[in-house]
Amino acid sequence: MRDGEVIGEGFHAKLGDLHAERAALADCRERGEDPAGATMYVTLEPCAHEGRQPPCVEAILEAGIARVVIASEDPSDKASGRGPGILRDGGVEVEFAAGEEATAARLLNQPFRKHARTGLPLVTLKLAMSLDGQTTTPEGESPWISSPESQGLVHRWRAESDAIAVGIGTVLADDPLLTARPDPSGVSYARYAGKTHTGTSRQRLRVVFDRQARLPLDSQFLRTLDQAPLLIVTSQNADPSRTAALREAGAETVVAEGIDAALADLGRRGIASLFLEGGRTLAAAFVAASAIDEARVFVAPVLLGEGERIEAVGPDAEDTLIETRFKEW
């Protein structure tokens, strides 16, 4: 920014692309603006190491930026304070934001921050339940408890995650796809987020916790491997012939005894965020392992106890979304 006017903007669009700082400087050039003497505002401290992209501090110094305001620090070992130090040595004024801006930046980067500090993915649990605490509908009814609008929001959350997980019980009951599918209009529902989301949904790794390798070979998961990859987490007790058949069908399998071991394996694969869907048993296992970082629970205005479904407060009532953050990284 210069004199209160934005002269360039940028963000890290995808792995391997320009980092936000270099993208913003490129935007400056496209606008015909000279960034020399300007102030740069960044969400995360500029990197000072060589990775898939060169260090951002070099680009900032070369551009002649006079001041850099950083919303949050980078907790990874290869960064953590190096960038700001190099900028100061180069004559750039460096300031760290505080208050609401700093908090918002840390929350925006929670998956990155947890993975950098622990090597594990941030785990977000999604549940849909009735007013009386039921998570499944009576046999013969639609399996959906939540509304189409909240289902659309779930697809957006899937697209924003690195991996999506489900338990084998849910797979056997529902045979889901677990892909991120946008609304036919091209806009995902986002009433709860307060904004709309457009564009093509990116397909992420699908993970099935299946200790005994019971996933049917004719499941939608295996029929749609061309749409999204599949990882099946089994145990040492799984039938070797079953795991071999799943691998021959195109799935990847991994033996992991317990939630902690499974999360460690995902972390080594570079998975920084895991969206946990479907399966009361699996959710309970994650809770018992203290592995849940965030929970997003839709409470539908219905009663699903014994007998038929009862619309508790009228058919036009909206779901209530309850979001809880258990840990901050």
DSSP 8-state assignment for residue 137: P
Cα 69 from Cα 67, distance rounded (Å):
7
Confirm if 190 and 182 have CB atoms less than 8 A apart: no
Six token digits for residue 250: 């195109």
Is residue 73 annotated as a catalytic residue, yes or no?
no
Rg (CA), the chain: 23
Cα 236 from Cα 96, distance rounded (Å):
49
Which of 21, 73, 277, 294 is labelled catalytic?
Answer: 21
Q: Which is nearest to 112 in space by CA: 271, 255, 317, 297?
A: 271
* Element at 149 (helix H, strand E): helix 148-160
What is the β-pairing status of strands 230-234 and 252-255? Answer: parallel
DSSP helix/strand/coil, 254: strand
The total of other beta-carbon atoms located within 10 Å of residue 246's CB is: 26
DSSP helix/strand/coil, 328: coil
Catalytically active residues, by annotation = 21
